[in-house]
């Protein structure tokens, strides 16, 4: 059945046709929208009562660009959806170029090549294909709060509607390259200064203003400009090429694993040498290539998965309304507590920070201040915002004000008796409606809160360190946690810029549970004879920000020791019993903070090889006795290292999915990318496992299991999922 019309055409008495894209929630450009846009544009050109056209979007949004949901399902579709529209043969639309360019590019050629002027009235946002439509218009007017950008690269694709050619012609190559390579949006004022927007007008008057502007072009008061034919903003050739060469050098550092930024730069460069029309032809050819690539599929998957985490059965179906969380008590001003407090106050949530004495309280407040100051020095926070945020922080040593808190987050050390005592005190002080949360990463929520009277308000709020920077928040529910408490925490997460993943109360929750083999298998490989620095290099090359040993140094090697007992109890012989941690502690090598870990640090964050490490490695290998059993590192390739470290993680991920610790596999993808730095261009751990092939993973694990032992034993969940060839990757 045909969907209801998504593009409206309204012709006013002033001779202006208003075209409105109405495709909630973000007026994305589906095949249907693009088809209807073309039809309506042609209709507007055919009608004698139309002199000019205004293009806009409904519901205070211009357009969020091509429909990512369709693109992720059928990548080729978005590039070919327009092929069924007859290419105009002249006359009606006028000077539409008779190039081989078709599909979506043709749509923009119809706008730009049309004989009647078109003006884009931009409010809300104009992103990706949305901005590309606007750039094909003969002028753009925007409301002051409008945001504009070409963020295609964040999805692993390049602009495909002429954006690589039109943006440089409107704002210059330098600005255009910056906007495309960073995927950042710019506000209307900046867009106006750069030349992307011709005029700014407040929203209520915007459409009328655009109508007048369009008529102004028709009656020659304003110029009738075709973006692709412009060159006034393009820098001299040598300068433009220099900008692109520099961008290429930067991309080699920031995007060394993927091709799409280099393809984008090549397409821009092609247009500079050969002109805009040739540029759009090349753009289309390369666009088809990128949209069908694995990184694009992975990044689009992550984009959608990040938005799907909010869909929690019985919570997000519209029956519950989130209660406002205005005041949050944070217990503990250490690294985690101060980070959590920072994350809250910068998003306008009042915090009562509780410490045991004045000295520790002051230290906690100082940490929060330092977090804020770092934002000010990086330019992401103004002095006024700094003062306002700090004004929301209230220190206490005696639970003062906690009776009116809507939520309390306990963030003290991982001590069960201490946490039990705190929850007992909170039960007596806080109101019945106050949600009681723990930031624990390894304690059982039921055990630490067993003294609390109303258990529906018990929840885990597991932030990742540094809590004011890392975007992931694991929301942990017990069997008693109410849907309302989850609903409230989901809303708070959104407010403070976190991406929440709802998980069951299980050892290690989702991220630490799935990633426990990361360090342990790395340690196993070292005991076989592989050098830690080689492992770090291989894992970095795979796309992780740092390798397991550098990460151990960063986190502090004592952190792993704290949770080791709990994990050993839970994971049994799936956990490699490494001696390395004990030996490192004995040698006083506890990590970056103390200047010595697997690497040496000479007063800076830069790691240097530590020759002293060899002695410890030797000792560890002797104790492990693998070599004595004839197991060595001989013949282990870099590919083996990647597979031996990550396949056990996929193995565990299957269990977490199968046991429903996460709601859906894509939640685990989001958690692995945001919590562990798993490369987004690989789509997250479950997506990656799926693309590598669960059957292949199973076979490899079976081989290693029989050769090396239980740490590689495939889980029954992997067997099950491999048999069904499914990782349950659906977003919904």
Residue whose CB is nearest to ligand 3HC in the complex, by number: 128
328-347 mask for ligand 3HC (x: CB under 6 A)?
A: --------------------
285 vs 725, which CB is nearer to ligand 3HC?
285
Of 64, 117, 174, 261, the residue at the interface with ligand 3HC (CB under 6 A) is 64
103 binds ligand 3HC (CB under 6 A): no
Pick the piece of the chain touching ligand 3HC (CB under 6 A) from 157-165, 531-539, 541-549, 656-664: 157-165
67 binds ligand 3HC (CB under 6 A): yes
- Angle at the Cα of 294 from the Cα atoms of 288 and 296, rounded to 5 degrees: 60
Sheet of 125-127: strands edge to edge? 125-127, 147-149, 186-187
Of 85, 161, 188, 662, the residue at the interface with ligand 3HC (CB under 6 A) is 161
Q: Which of 132, 592, 607, 652 is catalytic?
A: 132
Residues 23-52 close enough to bind ligand 3HC by CB under 6 A: 25-26, 28
Q: What are phi and psi of 353, to 5 degrees?
A: -95, 120
281 binds ligand 3HC (CB under 6 A): no
Pick the piece of the chain touching ligand 3HC (CB under 6 A) from 148-156, 321-329, 346-354, 478-486: 148-156
State the pairing for strand pair 7-11/16-21.
antiparallel
Query: What is the distance between the alpha carbons of residues 473 and 465, in angstroms, rounded to a whole number?
Result: 10
Query: What is the distance between the alpha carbons of residues 647 and 700, in angstroms, rounded to a whole number?
Result: 8
64 vs 113, which CB is nearer to ligand 3HC?
64
Give me the least distance between CB of 122 and ligand 3HC, in Å please: 13
Give me the least distance between CB of 708 and ligand 3HC, in Å please: 43
Give me the least distance between CB of 23 and ligand 3HC, in Å please: 9
Classify each residue of 95-105 as buried b or exposed e, where b means 16 or more C-beta atoms within 10 Å of its C-beta: ebbeeebbbbb
The site that binds ligand 3HC (CB under 6 A) totals a number of residues, namely 25
Query: Is 132 labeled as catalytic in the residue annotation?
Result: yes
151 binds ligand 3HC (CB under 6 A): yes
For the chain, the farthest-separated pair of C-alpha atoms sits apart, in whole angstroms, at 91
30 vs 338, which CB is nearer to ligand 3HC?
30
62 vs 599, which CB is nearer to ligand 3HC?
62
- The residue written with tokens 């490699």 in the block is 576
146: left (phi over 0), alpha (psi -120 to 50) or beta: beta
Pick the piece of the chain touching ligand 3HC (CB under 6 A) from 155-163, 572-580, 613-621, 660-668: 155-163
Query: What is the distance between the alpha carbons of residues 591 and 601, in angstroms, rounded to a whole number?
Result: 9
Give me the least distance between CB of 369 and ligand 3HC, in Å please: 30
DSSP 431-470: -TT-EEEE--SSS-HHHHTTT-S-GGGEEEEEE-SSTTT-
Of 88, 103, 160, 339, the residue at the interface with ligand 3HC (CB under 6 A) is 160
Of 62, 82, 125, 601, the residue at the interface with ligand 3HC (CB under 6 A) is 125
Give me the least distance between CB of 392 and ligand 3HC, in Å please: 23
151 vs 532, which CB is nearer to ligand 3HC?
151
Report whether 312 contacts 481 (CB < 8 A): no
Query: Is 355 labeled as catalytic in the residue annotation?
Result: no
Give me the least distance between CB of 162 and ligand 3HC, in Å please: 9
24 vs 625, which CB is nearer to ligand 3HC?
24
Query: What is the distance between the alpha carbons of residues 614 and 373, in angstroms, rounded to a whole number?
Result: 40
Give me the least distance between CB of 557 and ligand 3HC, in Å please: 39
Name the E strands within 143-264.
Answer: 147-149, 186-187, 199-200
Pick the piece of the chain touching ligand 3HC (CB under 6 A) from 159-167, 246-254, 532-540, 677-685: 159-167
Query: What is the distance between the alpha carbons of residues 203 and 143, in angstroms, rounded to a whole number?
Result: 5
Of 36, 109, 112, 152, the residue at the interface with ligand 3HC (CB under 6 A) is 152
66 binds ligand 3HC (CB under 6 A): yes
Q: SS3 of 35, please?
A: helix
75 vs 117, which CB is nearer to ligand 3HC?
75
* Tokens linked to 585: 């502690």
State the pairing for strand pair 458-463/472-477.
antiparallel
Of 184, 307, 622, 639, the residue at the interface with ligand 3HC (CB under 6 A) is 307
Pick the piece of the chain touching ligand 3HC (CB under 6 A) from 58-66, 364-372, 566-574, 602-610: 58-66
- Angle at the Cα of 600 from the Cα atoms of 598 and 602, rounded to 5 degrees: 160
318 binds ligand 3HC (CB under 6 A): no
Name the E strands within 603-724.
Answer: 607-609
75 binds ligand 3HC (CB under 6 A): no
DSSP state of 87: P
Give me the least distance between CB of 286 and ligand 3HC, in Å please: 12
Q: Which positions ≥6 away from 283 have C-beta within 8 Å?
A: 105, 158, 159, 160, 162, 163, 164, 165, 267, 271
Q: Which residues, in sequence order, are bridge partners of residue 199? A: 141
DSSP state of 29: B
Give me the least distance between CB of 283 and ligand 3HC, in Å please: 9
**Burial level of 58, CB count in 10 A (0-12/13-18/19+)?**
middle
CA-CA distances (angstroms) from residue 426 to 337, 411, 438, 551? 16, 13, 12, 35
Q: Which of 112, 152, 607, 643 is catalytic?
A: 152
Of 69, 73, 252, 257, the residue at the interface with ligand 3HC (CB under 6 A) is 69
Query: What is the distance between the alpha carbons of residues 132 and 106, in angstroms, rounded to a whole number?
Result: 12
Give catalytic residue positions: 132, 152
Positions touching ligand 3HC (CB under 6 A) are 25-26, 28, 64-69, 78, 104, 125, 127-129, 132, 151-152, 155, 159-161, 163, 304, 307
């Amino acid at each position: 059945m045909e969907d209801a019309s998504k593009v409206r055409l309204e012709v006013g008495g002033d001779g202006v046709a208003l075209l409105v894209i109405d495709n909630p929630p973000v007026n994305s450009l589906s095949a249907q929208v693009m088809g209807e846009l073309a039809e309506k544009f042609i209709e507007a050109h055919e009608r004698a009562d139309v002199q000019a056209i205004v293009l806009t979007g409904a519901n205070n949004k211009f357009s969020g660009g091509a429909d990512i949901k369709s693109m992720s399902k059928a990548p080729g579709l978005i590039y070919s959806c327009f092929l069924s529209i007859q290419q105009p043969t002249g006359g009606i639309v006028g000077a539409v170029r008779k190039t081989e360019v078709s599909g979506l590019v043709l749509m923009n050629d119809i706008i730009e090549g049309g004989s009647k002027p078109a003006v884009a009235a931009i409010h809300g946002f104009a992103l990706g294909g949305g901005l590309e439509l606007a750039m094909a218009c003969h002028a753009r007017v925007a409301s002051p709060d409008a945001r504009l950008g070409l963020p295609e690269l964040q999805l692993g694709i390049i602009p495909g509607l002429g954006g690589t050619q039109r943006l440089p012609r409107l704002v210059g190559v330098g600005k255009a390259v910056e906007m495309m390579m960073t995927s950042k949006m710019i506000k209307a004022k900046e867009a106006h200064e750069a030349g992307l927007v011709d005029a700014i007008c407040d929203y209520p008057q915007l459409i009328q203003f655009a109508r007048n502007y369009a008529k102004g072009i028709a009656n020659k008061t304003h110029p009738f400009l075709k973006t692709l034919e412009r060159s006034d903003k393009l820098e001299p050739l040598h300068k433009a090429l220099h900008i692109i060469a520099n961008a290429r050098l930067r991309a080699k550092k920031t995007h060394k694993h993927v091709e799409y930024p280099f393809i984008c730069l090549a397409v821009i460069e092609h247009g500079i040498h050969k002109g805009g029309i040739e540029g759009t032809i090349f753009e289309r050819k390369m666009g088809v290539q990128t949209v069908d690539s694995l990184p694009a599929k992975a990044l689009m998957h992550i984009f959608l998965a990040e938005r799907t985490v909010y869909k929690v059965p019985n919570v997000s179906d519209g029956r519950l309304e989130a209660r406002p969380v205005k005041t949050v008590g944070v217990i503990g001003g250490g690294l985690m507590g101060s980070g959590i407090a920072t994350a809250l106050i910068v998003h306008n949530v009042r915090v009562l920070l509780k410490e045991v004495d004045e000295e520790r309280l002051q230290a906690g407040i100082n940490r929060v201040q330092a977090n804020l100051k770092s934002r000010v020095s990086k330019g992401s926070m103004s002095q006024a915002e700094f003062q306002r945020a700090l004004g929301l922080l209230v220190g206490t040593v005696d639970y003062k004000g906690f009776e009116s808190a809507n939520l309390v987050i306990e963030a003290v050390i991982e001590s069960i008796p201490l946490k039990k005592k705190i929850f007992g005190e909170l039960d007596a002080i806080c109101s019945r409606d106050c949600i009681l949360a723990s930031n624990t990463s390894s304690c059982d929520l039921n055990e630490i809160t067993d003294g609390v009277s109303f258990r529906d308000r018990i929840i885990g709020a597991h932030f990742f360190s540094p809590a004011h920077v890392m975007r992931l928040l694991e929301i942990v529910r017990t069997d008693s946690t109410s849907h309302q408490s989850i609903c409230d925490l989901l809303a708070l997460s959104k407010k403070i810029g976190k991406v929440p993943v709802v998980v069951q109360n299980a050892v290690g929750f989702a991220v630490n549970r799935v990633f426990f083999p990361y360090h342990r298998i790395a340690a196993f490989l070292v005991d076989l004879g592989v050098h830690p620095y080689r492992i770090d290099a291989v894992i970095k090359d795979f796309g992780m920000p740092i390798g397991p040993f550098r990460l151990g140094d960063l986190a502090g090697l004592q952190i792993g020791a704290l949770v080791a007992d709990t994990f050993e109890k839970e994971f049994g012989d799936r956990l490699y019993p490494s001696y390395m941690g004990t030996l490192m502690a004995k040698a006083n090598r506890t990590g970056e903070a103390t200047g010595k870990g697997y690497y040496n640090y000479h007063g800076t964050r830069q790691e240097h090889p530590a020759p002293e490490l060899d002695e410890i490695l030797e000792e560890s290998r002797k104790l492990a006795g693998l070599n004595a059993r004839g197991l060595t590192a001989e013949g282990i390739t870099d590919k083996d290292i990647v597979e031996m470290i990550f396949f056990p993680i996929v193995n565990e991920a299957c269990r977490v999915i199968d046991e429903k610790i996460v709601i859906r596999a894509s939640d685990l993808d989001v958690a692995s990318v945001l919590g562990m730095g798993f490369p987004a261009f690989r789509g997250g751990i479950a997506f990656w496992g799926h693309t590598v092939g669960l059957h292949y993973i199973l076979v490899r694990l079976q081989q290693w299991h029989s050769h090396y032992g239980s740490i590689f034993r495939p889980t029954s969940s992997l067997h099950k999922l491999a048999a069904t060839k499914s990782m349950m990757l659906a977003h919904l």
